[in-house]
Chains A and B, each alone.
Chain A
Amino acid sequence: MWDPGGGRSLISRLEAAPTESLSDGNLDFPDKQDFFYSFFVFSFFRDFVVDKRFQVNNREKLPVKLHELTIEEAHRLLKRKEISSVELTQAVLERIQAVEDRVDAFITVSEKEAMEQAKEADQQIAHGHCESLTGIPLAVKDVICTRGIQTTCASKILENFIPPYNATVIRQLRQAGAVILGKTNMDEFAMGSSTENSGFKITRNPWDLTRVPGGSSGGSAAAVAADMCLGALGSDTGGSIRQPASYCSTVGMKPTYGRVSRFGLVAFASSLDQIGPLSKNVSDCAIMLNAIAGYDSADSTSVPQDVPDYTAALQKGLKGIRVGIPGEYAASEGMNPEVLNAVNNAVQIIEDIGAEKIEVSLPHTEYAVAAYYVIAPSEASSNLARYDGVKYGMRDKNQNDMIKMYRSTRSNGFGSEVQRRIIIGTYCLSAGYYDAYYGKASQVRSLIIEDFNTAFEACDLILCPVAPSPAFKIGEKVDDPLSMYLSDIFTLSANLAGIPGMSIPCGFSKAGHPIGLQLMGKHFNEEMLFKVAYNFEQTTNFHKKKPSL
């Protein structure tokens, strides 16, 4: 049983928490009543008795558990020394222990290191040093190098790999005082849209354990949704942050290419990869991006451009902001009507709170999947050549011929999807095919970028679905790679163009599966996405609904 700091009253702890307008806003919100009713009833029965100590204020009579806190809320309590990072981290570790056998979000939980980091954070706080992330327990996708902690990329070929250095983002998070809880599951080498391609385990969607959490950052999204961390890092090469965020009803952002250092991110497709946050709400996402954005001399593709305070963009009011709606997305084949409906509803809300809606056109959208599945596998086939059984990772020690050793090691170490993409990429880059495939796709990439440039002359950001349908069933697409690839249709373009993209919760299907709204902006204009996302979130309650685990 969780005991908040020896029974001290949580009323004083949280009374200064923002009321987060549960009933403000004049918009008609279709399932508002149902949602609050079911949330309350569910919470009540789950805890059997709602202890009066946990009441936050008159409007929000919900039990507060430490693992359910947002980064912002936890920071406020830590700063006032009403909770400690040790208490908070312990509570989150207990939560992981309680639900991990159902969700399977983590490959490694580094409990001992996390508790040590929490103690350090408490010492910092005792010395009056409490930044936004000091003492906040976060999870990290297992594609980002953590010194001394196994980093597998969910691949058997890296099963025992212990990085000798930290990725720049880890160094930044640690400098900001964050606690690293462990490493989350993913599709092997970030190749996939369901986290089923993991070499170790299948993560389940906390909203429906028979469904995928999305991918490739499925472990991070599931962990955030199931309160197994306060926020998480993911990586996004074609939608790998945004699509799982939408499937799990979390916020997720792929920043502009070059905004966040890729040093220590295991490379998949170097011209498309970008690290970004997954969080419980928009403010937390801005807080996390503040910590990891910026130029890094160790990544020559990071961009030396000033980093604004992203939380300063979280201001009410959308007057004068032009949101572009691309007609091509609604017309896309296989578009689920419930998703379309939820997205249209979200656009209406954003219009109602002051933004101006403009129709835009992204005519080359339908070619994005084809271009991407030439470019990404081509880059991957080159990047993954380094796994040769020599410097790190596994080796087939039974082979005493060099070439046989390479071949046997790689075929035993890589899973099917990784081998499939290496073959496609090698084929597309091979003599006689290069111009027809890689050359052609790179030209189409230019046209896709041009589409965005034209659209952004007329609007400040673009709104569209994240994925054509809500989370699909585990196993449903596993033997049909092309149909899996097509589920990335709305997210790939942002990677090809290098622009920032974000997913925020915007509804649920009748069956209760989350739906996300995608926001895409101009290069280095994450602030615009935060502003619009924040205003939407302030007017709606989708982000507050939690899965019943």
Chain B
Amino acid sequence: MKITKDEVLYVAHLARLALDEESIEKFAGQIDQILGYIEKLNQIDTQGIKPTSHAISLTNAFRDDEEKQHIERDLALANAPEKEDGSFVVPKVVG
């Protein structure tokens, strides 16, 4: 077993997912199989190989810090599930 049901639950919590019993059961099996396949990578000796995070070498893209036109506040809020007085509304965070 690469991953147990408890680990799936823990990782799901980290990823802010709430899985039901059926999904946990299904995912644990499938993810275990996928991670098992990924073990294949260990067949290769990668000692001293530099990792690649980006296939095209790019340097940082700097720009001047200038004032520019942005999306209007109302438009930015237009898709919000809940809004009030020009702000996003969220459930209470602090007690």
Check A440–B30 contact: CB distance below 8 A.
Answer: no
Give CA–CA (A373, B56) in the complex, Å.
20
Residue of B nearest to A256 (CB): B56
B8 to chain A, nearest CB (A): 6
B7 to chain A: which residues have CB within 8 Å?
427
Stretch at the interface among A174-182, A297-305, A353-361: A297-305
Say whether chain A's binding surface is mostly helix, strand, loop, or mixed: helix
A399 to chain B: which residues have CB within 8 Å?
91
Interface centre among B12, B14, B18, B33 (most CB of A within 10 A): B18
B26 to chain A: which residues have CB within 8 Å?
416
Give CA–CA (A424, B79) in the complex, Å.
29
B43 to chain A, nearest CB (A): 8
Given known pairs A422-B17, A424-B35, the reply for A402 and B81 (CB within 8 Å) is no
Check B16–A388 contact: CB distance below 8 A.
Answer: yes
B50 to chain A, nearest CB (A): 6
Check A390–B90 contact: CB distance below 8 A.
Answer: yes
A316 to chain B: which residues have CB within 8 Å?
none
Q: Which of under 10, 10 to 19, 20 to 34, or 35 or more describes the interface residues of B?
A: 35 or more
Check A257–B80 contact: CB distance below 8 A.
Answer: no
A366 to chain B: which residues have CB within 8 Å?
40
Stretch at the interface among A5-13, A94-102, A404-412: A404-412
Check A258–B58 contact: CB distance below 8 A.
Answer: yes
Check B55–A371 contact: CB distance below 8 A.
Answer: no
Q: Tell me which of B43, B54, B56, B92 contacts A400 (CB under 8 A).
A: B92
Give CA–CA (A276, B33) in the complex, Å.
32
Give CA–CA (A370, B2) in the complex, Å.
15
Q: Mark B69-88, 1 if CB is under 8 A from A, else 0.
A: 00100011011111000001
Q: Tell me which of A410, A424, A445 contacts B17 (CB under 8 A).
A: A410
Q: Tell me which of A165, A300, A405 contacts B71 (CB under 8 A).
A: A165
Check B55–A408 contact: CB distance below 8 A.
Answer: no
Which chain A residues numbered 388 to 445 have a C-beta less than 8 Å away from chain B? 388-395, 397, 399-408, 410-411, 414, 416, 419-420, 422-424, 426-427, 430, 437, 439-445
User: Is A473 among interface residues, defined by CB-CB distance under 8 A?
Assistant: no
Check B41–A440 contact: CB distance below 8 A.
Answer: yes
B42 to chain A: which residues have CB within 8 Å?
440
A393 to chain B: which residues have CB within 8 Å?
79, 81
Given known pairs A164-B75, A446-B50, A481-B34, the reply for A364 and B90 (CB within 8 Å) is no
A335 to chain B: which residues have CB within 8 Å?
none
Which chain A residues numbered 483 to 499 have a C-beta less than 8 Å away from chain B? 485, 496-499
Tally of A interface residues using CB under 8 Å = 73
A419 to chain B, nearest CB (A): 6
Give CA–CA (A419, B26) in the complex, Å.
12
Check A390–B88 contact: CB distance below 8 A.
Answer: yes
Check B11–A423 contact: CB distance below 8 A.
Answer: yes
Give CA–CA (A401, B90) in the complex, Å.
9
Q: Tell me which of B18, B33, B76, B93 contacts A164 (CB under 8 A).
A: B76
Given known pairs A367-B40, A422-B17, the reply for A271 and B31 (CB within 8 Å) is no
Q: Tell me which of A258, A400, A446 contacts B52 (CB under 8 A).
A: A446
Given known pairs A370-B37, A411-B18, A420-B31, the reply for A443 and B71 (CB within 8 Å) is no
Give CA–CA (A233, B26) in the complex, Å.
34
B66 to chain A, nearest CB (A): 12
Check B44–A364 contact: CB distance below 8 A.
Answer: yes
Which chain A residues numbered 454 to 490 have a C-beta less than 8 Å away from chain B? 481-482, 485
Residue of B nearest to A440 (CB): B41
Check B79–A442 contact: CB distance below 8 A.
Answer: no
A391 to chain B: which residues have CB within 8 Å?
79-80, 88
Check B80–A411 contact: CB distance below 8 A.
Answer: no
Give CA–CA (A440, B46) in the complex, Å.
7
Given known pairs A258-B56, A370-B38, the reply for A390 and B46 (CB within 8 Å) is no
Check A443–B49 contact: CB distance below 8 A.
Answer: yes
B17 to chain A: which residues have CB within 8 Å?
407, 410-411, 414, 419, 422-423
User: Is A40 among interface residues, defined by CB-CB distance under 8 A?
Assistant: no
User: Is A162 among interface residues, defined by CB-CB distance under 8 A?
Assistant: yes
A394 to chain B: which residues have CB within 8 Å?
81
Given known pairs A370-B40, A390-B80, A443-B50, the reply for A164 and B71 (CB within 8 Å) is yes
A301 to chain B: which residues have CB within 8 Å?
54, 56, 58, 61
User: Is A200 among interface residues, defined by CB-CB distance under 8 A?
Assistant: no
User: Is A545 among interface residues, defined by CB-CB distance under 8 A?
Assistant: no
Check B18–A449 contact: CB distance below 8 A.
Answer: no
Give CA–CA (A407, B53) in the complex, Å.
29
Residue of A nearest to B90 (CB): A390
Check A443–B27 contact: CB distance below 8 A.
Answer: no
A404 to chain B, nearest CB (A): 8
B44 to chain A: which residues have CB within 8 Å?
364, 367, 444, 447
- Name 13 interchain pairs, CB-CB below 8 A, sorted by A: A164-B71, A300-B60, A301-B58, A367-B40, A370-B40, A390-B80, A393-B81, A402-B91, A416-B23, A420-B30, A423-B11, A430-B14, A446-B51
Per CB-CB distance, the 9 closest pairs between chain A and chain B, nearest first, are: A498-B55, A442-B51, A392-B79, A300-B61, A395-B81, A407-B18, A443-B46, A406-B16, A426-B15
Known: A391-B79, A401-B91, A402-B91. 11 other contacts (CB 8 A): A303-B58, A391-B80, A395-B82, A399-B91, A402-B90, A424-B35, A437-B38, A443-B50, A446-B50, A447-B44, A482-B33
